[in-house]
Amino acid sequence: MSTLLDAGADLLLGSACVGCGDPGRVLCADCRSGLPGAAAEAWPTPTPAGLVPPFATGAYDGTLRSMVVGHKERRLLGLTRPLGELLALSVAAAAAATGPLLLVPVPSRPAAVRARGHDPTLAMTRRAARALRGTGREADVARLLRTRAGVADQAGLAADQRHANLAGSMASPTRAVRRQAGRRAHVVICDDVITTGATAREAQRALEAAGVAVLAIAAVAATERRHPPPYRRPE
């Protein structure tokens, strides 16, 4: 209900499209129709050792970036749906085979969730599962990851610092994992943006340490790297 009210407030209080700035919806029809329609592998450079294949729908700039930031920082909940649908494209590309899917959102720090008033990654992951179910896939969300205390904000840290900051920063509670045991679902870690891959790799490590096999990483967008291999844009 609060989502509906917030989405309504966006309209009533005079919002503007995050893509082009036109007054009206948080994402106008033109910008929406210009969103990617497919996802592809998006490997960070350098790639963290052992990282499972990461997928994204496009580069982290332009409308995609504005959507992610607006949703996360400005709580523009009208963007949850289009972001979730983009994330669903990445999940579908990562898990082209049939079979049930288990989407595991990268956890937000509890303090960040309190400050923002919502958990944007969880919200878009739930929406992605819904979109996948709409295409006939069996898809559920399981919050199998928790952050441990003492993790600094990643912003402003170089790649090697991020890895050091994140090592051991997540855990997968045994009880939560046990509830999923025996489901034989493809596990896909979901996040908003793949930057250095450090967060995704730590999420993968924590799940694997709990005995959960991870198929892939799915994100809305990936930052473009300056060095090869170049980011491959979706066809």
Residue listed under structure tokens 């900051």? 165
Sort strands 58-59 and 216-222 into parallel, antiparallel or unpaired. parallel
The answer to whether 234 and 64 are in contact (CB under 8 A) is no
Angstrom distance (rounded) from CA 114 to CA 106: 16
Which of 20, 111, 152, 209 is in the footprint of Zn ion by CB under 5 A? 20
Which of 15, 19, 131, 132 lies at the binding interface for Zn ion (CB under 5 A)?
Answer: 19
- Distance of closest approach, residue 100 Cβ to Zn ion, in angstroms: 36
- Owner of token pair 């504005």: 66
Contact between 79 and Zn ion by CB under 5 A: the answer reads no
- The reply to whether 82 sits near Zn ion by the rule CB under 5 A is no
Report the nearest approach of Zn ion to the CB of residue 54 (Å).
28
Q: Does 31 bind Zn ion (CB under 5 A)?
A: yes
Instruction: Rank residues 22 and 160 by Cβ distance to Zn ion and give the closer one.
Output: 22
Q: Which is nearer to Zn ion, 31 or 214 (CB)?
A: 31
Residue ranges of E strands in the chain? 40-41, 54-56, 58-59, 101-105, 139-141, 146-147, 170-171, 186-194, 216-222
Q: Does 26 bind Zn ion (CB under 5 A)?
A: no
> Is there binding between residue 67 and Zn ion (CB under 5 A)?
no
- Using CB under 5 A, list all residues that contact Zn ion: 17, 19-20, 28, 31
